[in-house]
A and B are shown apart, each in its own frame.
Chain A
C-alpha cells in the first residue's frame, strides 16, 4: 500500500450526467475525508467518515452529492445531475483517528472533473 489512491484521475462529462469517483485510503486508516478544490483556491472540506459512518458534512455538499463508505474501507463520491459549477479537483484524504502526528491527513492525487 503506497498511499491514498483515487480513480479515475480525470473525468469529462456533460451537464446533467451523473458521475462517481472512488477513493482507496491507506489500509489501516479509519478516517476518510473528501475535499473539493477549484482553480485558485485551497481545498474545501466536503465530508468525512470514521469507519463506515459519515460523521460530518459541509454545507457545500448539496443534495446532488452523496458519499458512501460501505465497509469502512474504500469510499465513493457521487454527483447527480452535474452542473458546470461542479468542475473542480476532488481530493480524498485518510488518517488515523486521535490526535498528534498519527492523525495526519494523507492526500490522494485527486480526480479532476470537467463538466461541459
Chain B
C-alpha cells in the first residue's frame, strides 16, 4: 500500500536560515512525487514535481529512491514562505496520496 509520511506537523525557522521539510514515502511501483503548498486563505497549488527537477521560489526537492525520501529544501527562508506544505505521491494512473502536511513559519 502507498503511504506518505511528513513527520513534522510544525516547523519554525528564522528568516534567512535554511529550511528542510521532510517527506518519506512507501510505494512498490515507480513513484511520482510532488510538493503542494497552501498559503493563508488561498487554495492548494503545486509547488514542484520531482520529474521536472526544477527550482521554484528557491525550493528544490530531490527524489532519493534508496531512502524513499523527497525532502523539500530552501537555503534561505523568506517570510513569504510561511504556509502549509503537503508532499504527495501519484500512485498508479491518477489519484494523489497526500501526507498530513507541515506548517512552516518563518520568523522575521
Contact = CB atoms under 8 A, between A and B. Distances in A.
Interface of A: 3-4, 31, 33, 35, 40-45, 48, 55-56, 58, 91, 100-101, 104-110
A31 B93 CA distance: 12
B15 to A, nearest CB: 27
A3 B43 CA distance: 11
B100 interface: yes
B108 to A, nearest CB: 27
Contacts of B4: 42
A75 to B, nearest CB: 15
A17 B3 CA distance: 34
Contacts of A42: 4, 86, 88, 98-101
Interface in B48-97: 49, 51-52, 86, 88, 93-97
Nearest to B46: A104
B44 A101 contact: no
Contacts of A55: 94
Q: Is the interface of B mostly helix, strand, loop or mixed?
A: mixed
Contacts of B93: 56
B45 interface: yes
Nearest to B54: A101
A105 B46 contact: yes
A43 B96 contact: yes
Nearest to A58: B95
Nearest to A95: B94
B95 A56 contact: yes
Contact of B52 (A44, A45, A101, A107): A101
Interface string B19-52: 0000000000000000000000001111001011
A45 B97 CA distance: 7
A105 B99 CA distance: 16
Contacts of B49: 101, 104
